[in-house]
Amino acid sequence: QVQLVESGGGLVQTGGSLRLSCAASGSIRSIDFMGWYRQPPGKQRELVASITSDGSTNYADSVKDRFAISRDNAKNTVYLQINSLEPEDTDVYYCRVRARTSAQRMGIYWGQGTQVTVSS
């Protein structure tokens, strides 16, 4: 009942920037958590950045100085501004949302992912 649509990925050179977006739609009553994840080869899926309904943010140490997460509550959309991209940032970036539906059921929802590729 909740759909996530991600966009903004692409191919950029080292040092470039991208702005990812994730829009949630469907029978949403409220959203208390939105975050971005990636999964390097051979590793578990890891948190890149997250934001809660009150605006509190959290970042992985490796991206804290380069990435910025923001949220538009009215649009149920979360953004990730990625600056100073490095080849090691190459990955599929997934949006994760914790939301309560109109039926008052809490659930976790994942987007399909958007590819970020950084060339040297």
CA angle 48, 37, 94 (to 5 degrees): 140
**pLDDT (mean) for 47-54:** 95
Instruction: Report the C-alpha gap between 23 and 26 in whole angstroms.
Output: 10
**pLDDT (mean) for 19-24:** 98
Q: What is the DSSP letter of 76?
A: T
pLDDT digits (tens, 9 = 90+) for 56-69: 999 999 999 999 99
Percentage of residues in the chain with pLDDT exceeding 90? 92
- Res 58: pLDDT: 97
Helix or strand run (H / E) with residue 73: none
**pLDDT (mean) for 15-26:** 97
- Res 10: pLDDT: 98
